[in-house]
Amino acid sequence: MQVIKGYRRENGKVGIRNHLLILPTVVCANQVCSRIQQKVAESVAIPHQHGCSQVGADKERTHKVLVGMGKNPNVGAVLIVSLGCEVINAEQVKAEIEATGKPVSWIDIQGEGGSVKSIQKGIDEANKLLQKIAAAPREDVLVSELIVGVKCGGSDFTSGLCSNPALGKAADILLHEGGTIVMGETTEIIGAEHLVAAKAVNQQVREKLFQCVKQFEQEVERMGVDMRGGNPSPGNIEGGLSSIEEKSLGCISKAGSAPLQDVIDFADEIPASGYYFMDSPGNDIECVSGMAAAGVHLVCFTTGRGTPTGNPIVPVIKITGNEITEKRMADNMDIDTSSVLKGKQTLDESGQEIYEAIIDVANGQETKAEILGHQEFSISRIGISL
């Protein structure tokens, strides 16, 4: 079986990167986090808009995503920065991340006495954490440990014709090797959910999937709008996609042909190997962030129109099927599948190429998004601000 180089964490999980993560528990701590991150090379920060004036399931989701980002095995150590009066409980975030065995430090801006002192102390703490993880060895681990998210964004007609089905072939290879595939984007299976559900391992999983789709569609009904224009987006429409059904039918092939093991909630930890569906918005950044928080190691992201999306802790491999985009946005694209449309490469050959890129990136090769410093992060909301 194929072997990759990974970081074996205290809890037995394997990471393919060794990031120091600087994590604000609330929007009010963003600037302090950014200043620390700027001063500590090799650290990544996840500024976000949330953490206060939230209640119920909405608050729980924000908490779950922040903890999940910290727990992701691509992260070697975490520095938490809180303000002190927010809704998110920093102590609990710390305890949950520490349960993985990785080093975690926490500073509180009100406790430290303002931004300047917090930044100074934060830089010291961050450097100490970096020293702790610098010597983490990369060891041989089986490819079956890999959890790969499959996502599409900035889709056009080529997404459904070549890049998504080619990614599906790569997914099949990884699943055959015992690995894990996670597909999200509930909004983007609308009109194709019967085909996804047909692969479910049992009736319960099938019903969960239909329920997720129903919830999203009910939201659209509640808003009283035609979702066309929002999804498919103006760019999707310019790229030839006429309805959400057409987009969805092109989307679903990226997960390959394996049975669907289960449907999990947004940012829930991936339970075992095989193919899983994560209930999530189609929004690129929210979906990739949810996958990262669920413990995905890397994301394969197909795009026809061309999008630069990255993530602070998870490498994102950009795959296009549009030869014009490949040329115009060469600095963002990792893999070009357009030769499939010209009959010069089969989907199987293209899928093999994607699979090999997954292995290379798992072994440490940087993606274009990593090289360019694309570290987009956002948390999807399911409630109002109070």
Partner 1 sequence: MAEQTFQEGLLCIVMHERDNVATLLKDVNKGEVITYIKGGESFQVTLIQDIKFGHKAAITSIRPNEVIMKYGEAIGTASVEIPMGTHVHVHNIEGIRGRGDKQNASN
Q: Which residue ranges make up the site for partner 1 (CB under 8 A)?
A: 156-158, 160-162, 165, 187, 190-192, 195, 217, 220-228, 231, 237, 239-240, 242-246, 249-250, 253, 304, 340-344, 346-347
Burial of 332 (0-12, 13-18, 19+ CB in 10 A): buried
User: Which residue, 1 or 342, has its beta carbon nearer to partner 1?
Assistant: 342
Q: Report the nearest approach of partner 1 to the CB of residue 200 (Å).
A: 17
Q: Report the nearest approach of partner 1 to the CB of residue 341 (Å).
A: 5
Q: Report the nearest approach of partner 1 to the CB of residue 176 (Å).
A: 18
Residue with token string 């009066």: 85
Q: Report the nearest approach of partner 1 to the CB of residue 222 (Å).
A: 7
Query: Strand 19-24 and strand 139-142: pairing?
Result: unpaired
User: Which residue, 153 or 315, has its beta carbon nearer to partner 1?
Assistant: 153
User: Which residue, 191 or 308, has its beta carbon nearer to partner 1?
Assistant: 191
For residue 311, give the nearest of 272, 361, 347 by alpha carbon.
361
- C-alpha dist (Å) from residue 69 to 23, 25, 80, 119: 9, 12, 11, 22
**CA-based radius of gyration for the chain:** 20
Q: Report the nearest approach of partner 1 to the CB of residue 204 (Å).
A: 24
User: Which residue, 202 or 242, has its beta carbon nearer to partner 1?
Assistant: 242
User: Which residue, 143 or 162, has its beta carbon nearer to partner 1?
Assistant: 162
Q: Report the nearest approach of partner 1 to the CB of residue 261 (Å).
A: 21
Q: What is the DSSP letter of 252?
A: G
User: Which residue, 221 or 269, has its beta carbon nearer to partner 1?
Assistant: 221
Spatial distance between the Cα atoms of 383 and 56, rounded to a whole number of angstroms: 8
Reported residue count of the chain is 386
- Give the CA angle between residues 341, 343, 348 to the nearest 5°: 85
Burial of 236 (0-12, 13-18, 19+ CB in 10 A): buried
